Amino acid sequence: MAFDVDMIKKVYANMAERVDKAREIVGKPLTLSEKILYAHLWDGEPTKAFVRGKDYVDFAPDRIACQDATAQMALLQFMQAGKSKVAVPTTVHCDHLIQAKQGAAADLKRANETSNEVFDFLASVSNKYGIGFWKPGAGIIHQVVLENYAFPGGMMIGTDSHTVNAGGLGMVAIGVGGADAVDVMAGMAWELKFPKLIGVKLTGKLNGWTSAKDVILKVAGILTVKGGTGAIVEYFGPGAKNLSCTGKGTICNMGAEIGATTSTFGYDDSMERYLRATDRSEIADEANKIREYLTGDDEVYSNPETYFDQVIEIDLDTLRPHLNGPFTPDLATPVGELGPKAKENGWPIKVDWGLIGSCTNSSYEDLTRAASIAKQAVDKNIKAKSDFGINPGSEQIRYTAERDGILKIFEDLDATIFTNACGPCIGQWDRSDLKGEEKNTIVHSFNRNFSKRADGNPNTHAFVGSPEMVAAIAISGRLDFDPLNDTLLNEDGQEVKLDEPEGIELPPQGFDVEDAGYVEPVADGSNVTVSVSPTSERLQLLTPFEPIGNSIKGAKLLIKAFGKCTTDHISMAGPWLRFRGHLDNISNNMLIGAVNAFNKKTNFVKNQLTGDYEGVPDVARQYKAKGIYSVVVGDHNYGEGSSREHAAMEPRHLGVAAVIVKSFARIHETNLKKQGMLGLTFANENDYDLIQEDDTISFLDLDSFAPDKPLNIEFVHKDGTKDVIKVNHTYNQAQIDWYNEGSALNLIKKQNAS
Ligand code: F3S
């Protein structure tokens, strides 16, 4: 699996010095989050204190992890950088493209047939550029990363929002868009706004039915889906030490559901046990040498209010098990109170499915806790009233759980064991029990429960709970079942009660696996060919973008977007996911969700060449075919949402030269810059109102494009009148160089060649 122990030793060698220096500069004791951040500055040793929530800082992450859906465009872009190898250790994990239907073997076989060209592409690019490749069926990215690559005090980025799971092993691990990952793969810095810090003090000890999942379900209820935005959540206190490492992972994982940048825990004995159990004693030994640098300073945890921006305290002794949902993960209800709430809101009480797995809750401990409930059903002759599906987190977990008889327990309850993959968690679920969009209820141990997430049905009410609670609810078949107090009727007509769950933190006989599903890249990949069929629907090699240049004259207005225009409006997900690796095909969704300000319709804009109204991508293609650049105009916070680079690449591909808006979501603005196009803001936001449907647009002074210098643009209206509008920009000289070269990657390639 080749975790890079030398790299980790290097990080640890610098850690003490950099943290001590940071403490001196900041002038106070440090949290763990600050220690990791200051130890990973791109410029090396800290020289100034950063303002939380304000300063943008360049970092040097230690690792990158990509999943199969997002890796496609990331790697296609990386191939443009002209590098022979990735600059930092990187892995690719095939977990999103496997549909759950009949069970592991059949489902994996089908996925290998339907997505083989994507998997082959990812395998060959990985092999060529020194990237570790985890085959379909090897496991879910974040579980595999926790088992193999995460390490205390490290910094990682990953092209998936639940990358944050690695905080369970004391990392600062952050989900990013493909463009950011490509920068780091190509040897550039990674920029992040220095986060704010939320401290969560845990006291007491989990007991009975309460699990690590309930900690984050409770926190989500307190902070809501937006409460963690721009912040790292750092857990500490005696309760934290009492949690298992994978339990900590569960808590950090769902930090994504409160919008947190990431979450983390200080290094402790549970992490040491986990490192040793996963064959990484060498890392545990190294970590033990600098233990005090891998956790927050004592003073910080003694007086958290002084050092964190917000502090929450949770007593694990009294914490109750929760089920959160439906439709949002922050609607927290203690089990036992759900019945009346469900009746009041018309949520179906009957539960059709119980699903255990996902990157959140698929560890060995999770499976054993759920199995301890399932076993009671078998032993006490209770027939499960709901269907059961299990996705183990990795082949190592699956193999070990099978060896230890755990999977057999679920099978005895007629559960379907799905592939070690995301499956229903990402909507990869061919659910045969529904005919249409019937209203129904499911419970699962995943993290997200937005409408349509698991099965595409807007009327599926999904509730999130711990694996053991999911097992209990699924056995009872009722949402209002409270295993702490209620009894069930068994097949002999007797009333029986489920005993509290019992889990095994780590397999007593150790983990085992025959084929973990890992493919080590060859040492020299220069002879490896990456083949992409020119007729492929799903993959397309990228060709470098031509520079737009400093003379944009006679461009046409493509769309003036009205109101909210998120990255989902610009590049929709859903069925378009399939084309994530094919820029031309996915560009057919460009801005189809944006509302045209002139008629308030979506995907219905005027083609100035014909006078007809057509779809946005169609019109853009016609302008492009005639060699005419187009311009997109937008409202406030244009491009908010995800860091999806497709939202910038598609307009660039279809000939959009500039996006002019009242204000940008910052990541999208940067993505536009990276793709070598103009992201501009109205100097006077009311000028948005001057833009008319038939406008022809010329840039008056782009030849003197320079930092801090506004640009002037002439809009010629249909009646021949004109407005010259001043626009601002935030390009620094390096970013202007990206524009001049056609893209950031073009520039990297040029620099490599010279
Ligand atoms: Fe996969 Fe669901 Fe996690 S999609 S990575 S299991 S959040």
Instruction: Give the domain ranges of the chain.
Output: 5-315, 331-496, 555-753
Q: Give 66: exposed, middle or buried? Use CB within 10 Å, 0-12, 13-18, 19+.
A: buried
Q: Is 425 in the pocket of ligand 1 (CB under 6 A)?
A: yes
C-alpha 138 to ligand 1 mean position (Å) = 14
C-alpha 196 to ligand 1 mean position (Å) = 26
For domain 555-753, the CATH superfamily is Aconitase, domain 4 (3.20.19.10)
**Residue 642: predicted pLDDT:** 75
Q: How many CB atoms lie within 10 A of CB 410?
A: 24
**Residue 240: predicted pLDDT:** 98
- Tell the CATH topology of 5-315: Aconitase; domain 3 (3.30.499)
Say whether 96 is catalytic. yes
ipTM of the complex: 0.98
**Residue 578: predicted pLDDT:** 87
**Residue 271: predicted pLDDT:** 98
b/e code 289-325 from CB counts within 10 Å (16+ = b):
ebeebbbbbeebbeebeebbebebebebeebbbbbbb
Residue to probe by mutation, ligand 1, list 159, 161, 257, 426, most atoms within 8 Å of CB: 426
Torsion, Cα of 433, 437, 441, 443 (10° steps): 70
Q: Is 140 in the pocket of ligand 1 (CB under 6 A)?
A: yes
Q: Is 141 in the pocket of ligand 1 (CB under 6 A)?
A: yes
Does 644 score more than 90 pLDDT? no
Q: Is 744 in the pocket of ligand 1 (CB under 6 A)?
A: no
The span from the CA of 220 to the CA of 330, in Å, is 5
Q: Is 358 in the pocket of ligand 1 (CB under 6 A)?
A: yes
pLDDT band at 577 (very low <50, low <70, confident <90, very high): confident
Which residues are registered as beta bridge partners of 197?
232
C-alpha 455 to ligand 1 mean position (Å) = 14
C-alpha 395 to ligand 1 mean position (Å) = 16
Instruction: Give the residue among 431, 412, 400 at the shortest CA–CA distance from 475.
Output: 412
Residue to probe by mutation, ligand 1, list 253, 254, 355, 425, most atoms within 8 Å of CB: 425
Of all protein residues, the one whose alpha carbon is nearest to atom 4 of ligand 1 is 426
Question: What average pLDDT does range 671-697 have in this prediction?
Answer: 97
**Residue 2: predicted pLDDT:** 60
pLDDT band at 690 (very low <50, low <70, confident <90, very high): very high
For the chain, how many residues are written? 754
Q: Which two tokens stand for residue 52?
A: 């939380």
Instruction: Give the residue among 230, 207, 240, 213 at the shortest CA–CA distance from 312.
Output: 240
Q: Is 447 in the pocket of ligand 1 (CB under 6 A)?
A: yes
The span from the CA of 392 to the CA of 507, in Å, is 15
Query: What is the per-residue pLDDT across 424-454, written as a single tens digit (0 to 9) for each?
Result: 999 899 998 998 999 999 999 999 998 888 9
C-alpha 160 to ligand 1 mean position (Å) = 8
C-alpha 34 to ligand 1 mean position (Å) = 28
pLDDT band at 1 (very low <50, low <70, confident <90, very high): low
Query: Residue 334 is inside which H or E element, if any?
Result: strand 332-334
Of all protein residues, the one whose alpha carbon is nearest to atom 2 of ligand 1 is 425
Distances (CA, A) of 286 to 5, 276, 406: 9, 12, 34
The span from the CA of 12 to the CA of 373, in Å, is 42
Q: Is 198 in the pocket of ligand 1 (CB under 6 A)?
A: no
Q: Is 93 in the pocket of ligand 1 (CB under 6 A)?
A: no
Which residues are registered as beta bridge partners of 681?
661, 728
C-alpha 436 to ligand 1 mean position (Å) = 25
The residue from 62, 68, 107, 160 that is catalytic is 160
Does 643 score more than 80 pLDDT? no
Query: What is the per-residue pLDDT across 269-326, written as a single tens digit (0 to 9) for each?
Result: 999 999 999 999 999 999 999 999 999 999 999 999 999 999 999 999 999 999 999 9
For ligand 1, what atom is nearest to the CA of residue 448?
7
Question: What average pLDDT does range 341-363 have in this prediction?
Answer: 97
Q: Which two tokens stand for residue 152?
A: 């205390």
C-alpha 132 to ligand 1 mean position (Å) = 20
Residue to probe by mutation, ligand 1, list 67, 96, 140, 141, most atoms within 8 Å of CB: 140
Say whether 723 is catalytic. no
- Could you give phi then psi for residue 576, rounded to 5 degrees? -75, -15
Say whether 95 is catalytic. yes
The residue from 52, 448, 653, 668 that is catalytic is 448
Say whether 580 is catalytic. no
- Could you give phi then psi for residue 241, rounded to 5 degrees? -65, -25
Q: pTM surpassing 0.90?
A: yes
The span from the CA of 483 to the CA of 476, in Å, is 9
Question: What average pLDDT does range 490-515 have in this prediction?
Answer: 97
Q: Which two tokens stand for residue 557?
A: 């207005």
Residue to probe by mutation, ligand 1, list 93, 94, 95, most atoms within 8 Å of CB: 95
pLDDT band at 667 (very low <50, low <70, confident <90, very high): confident
C-alpha 359 to ligand 1 mean position (Å) = 5
Say whether 330 is catalytic. no
For ligand 1, what atom is nearest to the CA of residue 362?
6
Query: What is the per-residue pLDDT across 506-524, written as a single tens digit (0 to 9) for each?
Result: 999 999 999 999 999 999 9
The residue from 62, 68, 95, 183 that is catalytic is 95
* C-alpha radius of gyration, the chain, whole number: 26
C-alpha 429 to ligand 1 mean position (Å) = 13
Q: Is 202 in the pocket of ligand 1 (CB under 6 A)?
A: no
Q: Is 453 in the pocket of ligand 1 (CB under 6 A)?
A: no
Q: Is 145 in the pocket of ligand 1 (CB under 6 A)?
A: no
C-alpha 422 to ligand 1 mean position (Å) = 5
Of all protein residues, the one whose alpha carbon is nearest to atom 3 of ligand 1 is 359
Q: Is 160 in the pocket of ligand 1 (CB under 6 A)?
A: yes
Mean pLDDT of the chain: 96
Q: Is 747 in the pocket of ligand 1 (CB under 6 A)?
A: no
Residue to probe by mutation, ligand 1, list 91, 142, 163, 428, most atoms within 8 Å of CB: 142
Q: Is 422 in the pocket of ligand 1 (CB under 6 A)?
A: yes
Of all protein residues, the one whose alpha carbon is nearest to atom 1 of ligand 1 is 422
Q: Is 449 in the pocket of ligand 1 (CB under 6 A)?
A: no
Say whether 476 is catalytic. no
Architecture of the domain defined by 331-496 = 2-Layer Sandwich (3.30)
Instruction: Give the residue among 121, 17, 18, 6 at the shortest CA–CA distance from 69.
Output: 121
Q: Scan for tokens 């080749």, then name that residue.
A: 2
Q: Do domains 5-315 and 331-496 have the same CATH topology?
A: yes
* Residue 398 near residue 66 (C-beta atoms within 8 A): no
Q: Which two tokens stand for residue 265?
A: 């825990």
Q: Is 162 in the pocket of ligand 1 (CB under 6 A)?
A: yes
Q: How many CB atoms lie within 10 A of CB 191?
A: 15
The residue from 644, 652, 668, 729 that is catalytic is 644
Q: Give 519: exposed, middle or buried? Use CB within 10 Å, 0-12, 13-18, 19+.
A: middle
Q: Angle at which helices 245-253 and 364-379 pack, to 10 degrees?
A: 100
C-alpha 633 to ligand 1 mean position (Å) = 35
